[in-house]
Amino acid sequence: MNKALFLDRDGTLIFDKDYLADPAKVELIPGVADGLRRARNLGYRLFLFTNQSGIGRGYHPLADAEACNRRMIELLKLGGDLFTAICIAPEAPDQPSDYRKPSPRFILEMIAEHDLDPAHCWIVGDRESDLLAGVNAHIHPVAVCTGKYDRATWVKVAPAGTGIFDDFTAFAATLA
């Protein structure tokens, strides 16, 4: 069985810029590339799992979110095959959705498809919905303080059992 990280994008890997649609505005959070490199070198499969409600709200098309993903991958300089799979949930919060976090559907599908061991899988994010997707899929939730919440807020709102880290790099340093 394989181990994996499910990674939110905005506020986790790149700075959160509301309804990001312009690839020129993609900005990596410092240290993310090193953390991803470490995880990959340790044998973790990496999955990008991002809610992009700007699409469902009509602010921009799916192609813009995909272009921002390509730009992020380019900036990371870790190869175009960095992510085993990418899930973009385009729905707005009030629209019906199968994949929008906190739905665990993408995670569960990837566990089955890639023979992943849930005991060795984590979801890393900056919002409660990210962590709840992991909890709902029975994998480990990890909160980072580079997006919506700081540590003091996470301590109050994080689901039980959540690891709280200053950033993705600090979490990646704990991987074995």
Distance from C-alpha of 102 to C-alpha of 165, rounded to nearest angstrom: 20
**What letter would DSSP give residue 15?**
-
Catalytic-residue membership of 167: no
Give the count of beta carbons closer than 10 Å to the beta carbon of residue 23.
17
| Candidates 8, 64, 126, 167; catalytic one | 8
Catalytic-residue membership of 22: no
| Candidates 10, 64, 126, 130; catalytic one | 10
Distance from C-alpha of 89 to C-alpha of 62, rounded to nearest angstrom: 10
Distance from C-alpha of 164 to C-alpha of 154, rounded to nearest angstrom: 7
Q: What is the separation of C-alpha 137 from the centre of its chain, rounded to a whole number of angstroms?
A: 14
Active site residues: 8, 10
